[in-house]
Chain A
Amino acid sequence: MTRFRAVVAALAISVALILQVSLFPHFAWHGIVPNLCLLVVVAAALTINAPSAMLLGFAAGVALDLVPPADHVAGRWALALTVVAFLAARVRQDVKPTATAVIGTVAAASFVGTSIFALTGLLLGDSGSVPDLLLVIGVAVLWDVLLTPFVLPPLMRLFSSLDPQLATA
């Protein structure tokens, strides 16, 4: 069951990644696309147990860092998405996840994730100017929130149906 769950999670990340680099650039605004991998990680963090969600976040980040055409210093998205998974799993304990709460979590996660990536870029001398940075973060949050109603419910249903804890309850 656990292995099956890992395979499904890896598949979800792969599909999200492929759509993110091959499909969404055609609709992108100045190259800013919805971060589907981040949405998968948030959906997992809100559904499956926290350690698995954090491992999933790390794996999704490493994939974003390494799969072509990525060329930035590897590990930056891994760091960002690990923190995102941790925070989303924390929030989940305190807030009853209504649709509004989920959208709020996605907005916060998108803001934190993109910001961590941009800040590591500033530290490594590998990022754009600060106004550009803020523009990218703002538009990225908007994109992610716009896609949440279409992406999060099916993903959360998928993850919760895979959760063995649910089967025993």
Chain B
Amino acid sequence: MAGFGGGGATGGRERRWRGMDRLDSRNRPPRSLLVALVLASVTLITLDFHGGTDSPVEPARRVLGEAFGPVEAGTAAVIRPFTAVPSWFRTKGTLSDEIRDLEAENSDLKSQVATAGFDKNRLEEYDGLTQSAESLGRALVPARVVAYGSSQSFSNTVTIDAGSQAGIGPDMTVINNDGLVGRVLRVTRTTATVLLIIDQESNVGGRVGSSLEVGFVQGRGSVADDELDLRLVDDAVIPAKHDTVVTWGSAEGPYQRGVPVGRVTDVYSSLIESSQRAVIEPFVNFSALDVVGVMVPTGTTSDRAVIEADGAMR
């Protein structure tokens, strides 16, 4: 077969796919190597799976992150002007449609604010919340998303272009101007990997805005939609539709308190489990993530401007 192929290697097509026609027994893929590499992969899987957060693979992740982080950031910076091109070609019609939608939404929100029944208890709770938010003394480190994990990997993670040099560490809360984005998993000097709240590994302590009931917001890891599930600790309470869910927050946990997560869109009750499951539509649009902020303790030294709790840049 190799002989025939070699003889016919004069045509244009043959040259294009050349290398193919010189097949001989030397090229038989060795089974021993396959077995060795498969065993190596399985070893790697076992090491990483049982190691958890301090697995022996973690240093290798860090080294590769240090090497690839700046390249990813650079590539994203080069690509950014081109990905903005489609937004230049929006017609007057689509823009006026958008204005109409925004006006409708604005008046809707205004009426909600005007008619909302703030009872005294709730107001006090909110006052407490804002006070604790102030006393927490958080500052924001701005960053941009430079790389996205693919759906083929069945995990929802992104890389941002700020790392330990910017004062970021693991388990810090990541937000954008719409609400909660996720938390930092690991950092390199110049980048950080963020676990989005829509990942199925993500579990956020949440609190329903109107009843102040606590529960857990879990990502679904679903490909087709970005919805979250809310399970309340108290099974007797049924969350109302359109209720806002904010983070519950704890002193040492990863998520700071009072960050808006999403809105209740549907409530299902399961008779067998005698519990309520609410579907949450997150405020953040995860398919168009760009600028995010990482909540750091105030006074953190950073390689870039830090936005303090009172809005001042430092």
Note whether A and B form a binding pair. Answer: yes
**Complex alpha-carbon distance, A124 and B45, angstroms:** 9
With a cutoff of 8 Å between Cβ atoms, the chain A residues found around residue B47 in the complex are 74-75
Q: Determine whether the beta carbon of A153 is less than 8 Å from that of B83.
A: no
B230 within 8 A of A: no
Q: How many residues of A contact B (CB 8 A)?
A: 83
A103 to chain B, nearest CB (A): 12
A25 within 8 A of B: yes
Question: On chain B, which size bracket covers the interface?
Answer: 35 or more
With a cutoff of 8 Å between Cβ atoms, the chain A residues found around residue B99 in the complex are none
A100 to chain B, nearest CB (A): 11
State whether A70 and B223 are in contact (beta carbons under 8 Å apart), knowing that A82-B34, A82-B38, A128-B200 are contacts in the complex: no
Q: Determine whether the beta carbon of A73 is less than 8 Å from that of B49.
A: yes
Q: Scoring B residues 15 to 48 as 1 if CB is less than 8 Å from chain A, else 0, what string do you get?
A: 0111111110011111001100110111111111
With a cutoff of 8 Å between Cβ atoms, the chain B residues found around residue A165 in the complex are 22
Q: Determine whether the beta carbon of A89 is less than 8 Å from that of B27.
A: yes
Q: Determine whether the beta carbon of A156 is less than 8 Å from that of B17.
A: yes
Q: Most chain-B Cβ atoms within 10 A of its Cβ — which of A67, A85, A169?
A: A67
B157 within 8 A of A: yes
A contact patch SS: helix
Q: Determine whether the beta carbon of B223 is less than 8 Å from that of A32.
A: yes
With a cutoff of 8 Å between Cβ atoms, the chain B residues found around residue A128 in the complex are 154, 200, 221-223
Residues of B within 8 A of A (CB): 5-6, 13, 16-23, 26-30, 33-34, 37-38, 40-49, 55, 57, 60-61, 64-65, 68-69, 71-72, 75-76, 79, 83, 146-159, 185-186, 188, 191, 193-195, 200-201, 221-224, 287
Between A and B, 29 residue pairs with Cβ closer than 8 Å are: A18-B71, A21-B72, A21-B147, A21-B149, A22-B76, A28-B151, A31-B287, A33-B151, A47-B19, A49-B26, A50-B27, A50-B28, A55-B33, A63-B64, A68-B147, A68-B191, A70-B153, A71-B157, A71-B193, A74-B55, A74-B60, A75-B44, A76-B45, A82-B34, A98-B13, A129-B222, A132-B221, A156-B17, A165-B22
Q: A82-B37, A93-B28 are in contact. List 16 more A-B contacts (CB 8 A).
A: A26-B83, A30-B151, A31-B150, A68-B64, A68-B157, A69-B147, A69-B193, A70-B153, A72-B154, A77-B153, A79-B42, A86-B34, A114-B152, A117-B152, A124-B49, A136-B223
- Lowest 7 A-B CB distances belong to which pairs? A75-B44, A160-B19, A79-B41, A75-B45, A50-B29, A25-B148, A31-B151
